[in-house]
């Protein structure tokens, strides 16, 4: 069981797997049971505003540390923008300065995407903070391989992890039903596809039904 206390990293098996909505759902679930939560989007690239989405859906305070205009890996986007590279210690300090019971740190892209100075990754951040990780995975074909690789990469550095399916389809097929049986790792639940389009009050009410954060 991973502990939802202090910093917790939210990463993914790839980009576009539902990390932001999953982060919002975790925040809403924790807040519904009286836990205080702050959310940090480590780095934002392109036109999206993940911190704003998390705040709108969950109501948790959320902020982004750095933004880069190109929709690329943060390290690459910073280089193209000729912007200062984000330092690992800066991010760790930002998390440790938060006063909430739980600080959710949403990464960018997959686990080993380079974020900042020296090419550090979200895995390095989890190691620096000594905290667990939530891995957001796809439901369909390919997810068994991608999830296994991500969990193995975390385990090699001693990072505890649990898995959430980031967008469970409304009409799942054979692959999705079989994957739910065979998906590796400890599972916390799944987020229904399209959950990010729900009204915030509905999202916050139903988020507690999607996840079981007392198991891992």
Q: What are the structural domains, with CATH classification, of the chain?
A: 10-210 (3.40.50.300)
Residue of 19, 41, 87, 181 marked active site: 41
Give 10-residue mean pLDDT values along the chain (216 residues): 94 96 98 97 96 98 97 96 97 97 97 97 98 97 97 98 96 95 94 98 96 75
- Checking 209-213 for CB contacts under 8 A at 24+ apart, the result is 210/25, 210/29, 211/25, 211/26, 211/29, 211/164, 212/188, 213/4, 213/26, 213/29, 213/30, 213/188
181 classed as catalytic: no
Residue 1 has what pLDDT? 76
Residue 215 has what pLDDT? 52
Residue 78 has what pLDDT? 97
Q: Calculate the CA dihedral of residues 204, 172, 140, 2 and round it to 10 degrees.
A: 40
Report the predicted TM-score, pTM, of the whole model to 2 decimal places. Answer: 0.96
Geometric angle at alpha carbon 214, from 210 and 215, rounded to 5°: 85
Residue 216 has what pLDDT? 44
- Give which of 51, 59, 62 is closest to 20, Cα–Cα: 51
Residue 201 has what pLDDT? 97
Main-chain phi, psi angles of 8, to 5 degrees: -140, 125
């Amino acid at each position: 069981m991973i502990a939802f206390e202090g910093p917790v990293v939210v990463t993914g098996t790839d980009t576009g797997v539902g990390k932001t909505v999953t982060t919002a759902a975790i925040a809403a679930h924790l807040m519904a049971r009286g836990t205080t939560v702050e959310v940090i989007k480590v780095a934002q690239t392109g036109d999206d505003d993940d911190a704003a989405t998390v705040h709108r859906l969950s109501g948790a305070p959320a902020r982004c540390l750095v933004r880069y205009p190109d929709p690329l890996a943060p390290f690459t986007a910073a280089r193209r923008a000729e912007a200062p590279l984000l330092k690992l210690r800066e991010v760790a300090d930002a998390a440790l300065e938060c006063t909430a019971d739980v600080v959710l740190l949403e990464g960018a892209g997959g686990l080993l995407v380079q974020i900042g100075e020296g090419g550090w990754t979200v895995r390095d951040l989890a190691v620096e903070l000594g905290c667990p990780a939530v891995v957001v995975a796809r439901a369909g074909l390919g997810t068994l391989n991608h999830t296994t690789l991500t969990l193995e990469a975390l385990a090699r550095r001693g990072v505890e992890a649990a898995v959430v399916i980031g967008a469970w389809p409304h009409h799942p097929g054979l692959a999705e039903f079989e994957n739910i049986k065979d998906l590796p790792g400890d599972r916390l639940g799944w987020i229904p596809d399209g959950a990010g389009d729900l009204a915030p009050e509905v999202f916050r009410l139903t988020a507690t039904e999607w996840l079981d954060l007392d198991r891992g």
